[in-house]
């Protein structure tokens, strides 16, 4: 059975099988967690991402972790929040599902997710946390990572993730 937990800290320091990058569609780096991952992974990550041709919203791509302690980086592109009626919930859920699909295909046993779309993309954090927990719980079990860590960038996000986990993603 999969263990899902919340952790407050720097995702780039985790020696997990894979970490998820909340990337932009170019996959060529940016701000927030994306920039932090690119800086920590080193210049080979950018060289590798240039060969991928980008990534549409909701999909995911995988690269080596390069200079990170994580073996793999799963890059996914979250939706920009408009009003919630433009398919954002479905797109965000697809980010988690497609990342978990790549994790399963690559025998990932430990996986860490950041709060996808909760930075400059403006997704309301409480809604995003509920989706993250719901999808991770749906995937818990056969073939899923043994540990899924939901990584918070601040205490407020950690509290929202803990609350969503306690409510089961509802």
pTM of the full predicted structure? Answer: 0.97
Residue 170 has a pLDDT of: 72
Domains of the chain: 3-166 (3.40.220.10)
Secondary structure of residue 36 in the 3-state scheme: helix
pLDDT per position as a tens digit, 131-144: 999 999 999 887 88
Instruction: Provide the terminal-to-terminal Cα distance of the chain, rounded to the nearest Å.
Output: 20
Q: Which residues of the chain have pLDDT under 50?
A: none
* Per-residue confidence (pLDDT) for residue 169, from 0 to 100: 65
Q: Based on C-alpha coordinates, what's the Rg of the chain?
A: 14
Assigned token pair, 86:
């433009």
Active site residue 34: yes
For 52-87, how does the pLDDT look when each residue is reduced to its tens digit (9 = 90+)? 999 999 999 999 999 999 999 999 999 999 999 999
Mean pLDDT rounded to a whole number for the chain: 96
* pLDDT value of position 74: 98
CA distance 71 to 66: 7
| Catalytic residue, candidates 10, 17, 34, 154 | 34
């Amino acid at each position: 059975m999969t263990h899902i937990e919340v952790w407050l800290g720097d995702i780039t320091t985790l020696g997990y099988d894979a970490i998820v990058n909340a990337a932009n569609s170019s996959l060529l780096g940016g701000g927030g967690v994306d920039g932090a991952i690119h800086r920590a992974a080193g210049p080979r990550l950018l060289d590798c991402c240039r060969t991928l041709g980008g990534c549409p919203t909701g999909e995911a791509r995988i690269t080596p972790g390069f200079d990170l302690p994580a073996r793999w980086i799963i890059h996914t592109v979250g939706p920009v929040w408009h009003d919630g009626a433009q398919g954002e919930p479905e797109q965000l859920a697809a980010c988690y599902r497609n990342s978990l699909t790549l994790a399963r295909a690559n025998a990932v046993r430990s996986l860490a997710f950041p709060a996808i779309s909760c930075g400059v993309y403006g997704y309301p954090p409480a809604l995003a946390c509920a989706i993250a927990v719901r999808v991770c719980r749906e995937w818990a079990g056969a073939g899923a990572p043994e540990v899924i860590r939901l990584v918070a960038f601040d205490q407020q996000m950690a509290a929202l993730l803990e609350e969503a986990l306690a409510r089961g993603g509802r």
